């Protein structure tokens, strides 16, 4: 497998923090359109004409694998160069619900359910401000405007 360092050395250019890493055959940075065109050509040659994956699919797959591996959203956002740790819509787009996440949540619920009832009551959220919290039946709804 070709490593990124090997690829950059082959390019023969110094890549600074904001420079484009991937370059076309002439060595110039890919434009917004040409990278996708080249990707489709290579995809068709390697996987056949029925393959329809895009570059975005690879980003999404990598995001899902990172989340399944317990990567922190902030770290993932840093690597991807976006703000998915602060933007729920972006997070849902790049990290849709997956089987591993569902299994982790189900296991956590099973673990919680198996604990004795007296131990479960100690895990309730506590109000540390000293103010009384209204239960849903005591809360006064705000009037609609």
Could you give the count of Cα atoms lying within 13 Å of 133 in the half-sphere of its Cβ? Answer: 8
Q: What is the mean pLDDT of residues 132-141?
A: 58
pLDDT of residue 129: 56
Instruction: Tell which wins on pLDDT, 34 or 19.
Output: 34
Any idea what DSSP says for residue 49? T
Question: What's the pLDDT tens digit per position in 49-96?
Answer: 998 988 888 788 888 888 888 889 999 888 888 888 898 888 888 888
Give the Cβ contact number of residue 94 at 10 Å.
22
Give the pLDDT mean for 10-23. 78
> What is the structure's pLDDT at 48?
92
What confidence tier does 44 reach under pLDDT thresholds 50, 70, 90?
A: very high
pLDDT score recorded for residue 117: 61
């Amino acid at each position: 497998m070709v490593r990124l360092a090997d690829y950059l050395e082959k390019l023969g250019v110094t890549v600074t923090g904001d420079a484009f890493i991937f370059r076309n055959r002439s060595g110039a940075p890919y434009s917004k359109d040409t990278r996708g065109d080249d990707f489709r050509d290579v995809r068709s040659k390697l996987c056949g004409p029925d393959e329809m994956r895009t570059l975005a699919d690879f980003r999404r797959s990598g995001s899902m694998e990172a989340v399944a591996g317990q990567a922190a959203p902030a770290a993932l956002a840093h690597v991807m160069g976006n703000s998915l740790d602060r933007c729920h819509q972006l997070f849902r787009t790049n990290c849709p619900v997956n089987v591993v996440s569902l299994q982790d949540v189900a296991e956590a619920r099973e673990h919680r359910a198996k604990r004795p009832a007296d131990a479960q009551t100690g895990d309730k959220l506590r109000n540390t401000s000293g103010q009384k919290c209204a239960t849903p039946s005591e809360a006064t709804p705000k009037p609609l405007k």
